[in-house]
Amino acid sequence: MTRIGSRVSLVTGIALLLAVCGVRSEEVEPVDSDYDRVPLSTVMPSYPEAARRERIEGEVQVCFDISREGFPRRVAVRRSTHRYFEKPARDAVRRSRWRPIPHPEKVPNIKACRTFRFTLVPVERDAG
């Protein structure tokens, strides 16, 4: 068997093993801090391929300010269980939007935080 053929067989074997074991790819769950701003669109991060391949689960807390116009500012990771999840979580917050605040109203000086839980979820197998 050629080198390429053995690699293809290995990749196919791993995919079959995952299917037999009943492993679904992933799930990402957002958990918001308690703040008054109303989200208009919440973007969910993608599960990093390397973390999925290595079967790594984790959690990232991203904190940020929300501008008067509803855009996140000063987005930063507060805590993280693994670096694989940090960039997707930051990017998701940056692409999310909140309800703008009209000009006479005062913008609250509260830092918002969002925690993303990245988990691999087993799939129920059929009894048949």
The pTM for the full model equals 0.69
Query: How many CA atoms lie less than 13 Å away from 82 in the CB half-sphere?
Result: 18
What pLDDT is attached to residue 33? 57
pLDDT at 16 over 90: no
State the residue for tokens 């008054």: 36
Residue type present at position 67 = S
Q: Give pLDDT tens digits for 57-91.
A: 999 999 999 999 999 999 999 999 999 999 999 99
Query: How many CA atoms lie less than 13 Å away from 113 in the CB half-sphere?
Result: 12
What pLDDT is attached to residue 43? 94
How is residue 52 written in tokens? 């999925």
What pLDDT is attached to residue 28? 73
Q: State the average pLDDT over residues 7-36.
A: 48
- CATH fold group of domain 24-119: TolA/TonB C-terminal domain (3.30.2420)
Q: Encode 18-48: b = buried (16+ Cβ within 10 Å), e = exposed.
A: beeeeeeebebebeeeeeebebeeeeebebb
**pLDDT band at 5, cuts 50/70/90?**
very low
Q: What does the H/E/C string look like for 73-127?
A: EEEEEEEECCHHHHHHHHHHHHHCEECCCCCCCCCCCCCEEEEEEEECCECCCCC
Domain ranges of the chain: 24-119
How is residue 40 written in tokens? 């208009």
